[in-house]
Amino acid sequence: MSKEHEWLPVLGPRLPLPIPEPVALGAPGCGFPRPWSVYRWLPGEPASEERVTDLDTFARDVARFLTSLWSVDAQGGPEAGAHSFGRGGPLSVYDADVHGCLDAMPADITRAAVLDIWDAAVSSPFKSEPGWFHGDMVPSNLLVRHGRLAAVIDFGTCGVGDPACDLVLAWTFLDAPSRHTFQEQLNVDTGTVARGRGWALWKALLTLQDPDHLAAARRYGWRYSAPNVIRTITDDS
């Protein structure tokens, strides 16, 4: 079970934008079977193609937030694991999933191209000290006001490990120029980009299994459909 209420107060003062602030916690009781929590309201609307028209500025805003998050002292933070669904850990945990999704790919995308990207991601080891990661930087968790990033929510998969999983937005929402800006502002190495690309590929392949994958992509706030995300990843490699 996620214990985000324990580390959000640690992270919040060190970040350049508002994040959820817990104001009440409760235990199961009175007919409700689970722990519960209440968080302070954050103004803004989920990022979307209609709400974010300046992708370059948006990419810079997100990169600034992530750079700050990644730089927070990670001592005592929760290690990547079950609560983060493996995000922040090695991509190899989803190797069987990726291979099991290959039959659903569009005909114009070859298995060889996808596996080349996946193999490159899996074989690019994380060599740095573990740091904080958000774990679910989808547009629906990025609140915007007047087209600018205003807050980041849903830290349930947040933890300490490899931050490459936070790069997925580069292929699901940004275009080529803003993707370049995003990676340049983050100042990440080629291995981190390769692993980020792998995480995006895994998510797109998994989404493609949904009978209504177009609706699923819209729920995440993606700018592109799952097949187009995979095409972008293969073209970008």
pLDDT at position 181: 98
5-32 pLDDT tens trace: 788 989 999 999 999 998 888 888 888 8
pLDDT at position 1: 45
CA distance readout (Å), 73 to 16, 107, 126, 179, 214 = 15, 46, 18, 27, 39
**Low-confidence spans in the chain with pLDDT less than 70:** 1-2, 237
Single pTM value for the model: 0.94
The closest of 3, 70, 9 to 37, measured between CA atoms, is 3
pLDDT at position 2: 58
Separation between Cα atoms, residue 69 and residue 216, nearest integer Å: 28
Separation between Cα atoms, residue 179 and residue 224, nearest integer Å: 14
Q: Sketch out the chain's domains with CATH numbers.
A: 44-236 (3.90.1200.10)
